[in-house]
Amino acid sequence: MPSTSPTALSTAERTLDVAERLLQVRGFNGFSYADIAAELGVTKASLHYHFPTKAELGDALIARYSSRFADALGTIDRDTTNPRDKLDAYVNIYSEVLRGDRMCLCGMLAAEYETLPHSMAEAITQFFRENEAWLTNVVAQGQADGSLSNGVTPSDASQMLLSGLEGAMLIARTLGGLPRFQSSARRLLEILNP
């Protein structure tokens, strides 16, 4: 088992930081350990010490990203009571990622789903299921208090929102950037107006 000294943690975290950025820009199959090693100024062997295989690196990336995303959703739940405001805050998570010239990590991985190790594919599926469950709950709250339309079931609304936001990010990457994404997100949310 790798050491848990501050230096080891620092190297592992720095590796994850660089790999996350590369994945969000190029995709999982678009970078190698050599790319990470060159950027960090370390040997590939030192990367393999912390993450023996690229699949293990991918698993760690998804786990960290999913945890951070879940924390962001928890913050929204804690700080925001209005369901419409919760949905706006959810969209803002995506906007901030795109503002940093990146894509949703799990969205990028979904594009490569068929080529990924099984553990990574399962983790991506779980990430999207958890997001849909959270969105379903928020929409159900909004429909119950009248702040959101009852015109679509909470489950269908959550699927539409998640798919629409992920797709809007992809298209915005090539056509119009952040303003294009924000316009598309606004239209998605308008569907839920009472």
Domain boundary assignment for the chain: 55-190
Residues 78-100 pLDDT 10s: 999 999 999 999 999 999 999 99
Whether the Cβ atoms of residue 106 and residue 124 lie closer than 8 Å to each other: yes
pTM above 0.75, yes or no: yes
151 and 87 Cβ atoms separated by less than 8 Å: no
Q: Please, what is the average pLDDT of the chain?
A: 94
Is residue 39 classed as helix, strand or coil in its secondary structure? Answer: helix
46-52, long-range: CB within 8 Å, 24+ apart, which pairs? 46/11, 47/15, 49/2, 50/2, 50/8, 50/11, 50/12, 50/15, 51/12, 51/15
The architecture (CATH level 2) of 55-190 comes to: Orthogonal Bundle (1.10)
Q: Which two tokens stand for residue 136?
A: 């379903």
Q: Would you state the pLDDT for residue 1?
A: 38
Cα atoms found within 13 Å of the Cα of residue 13, Cβ hemisphere only = 7
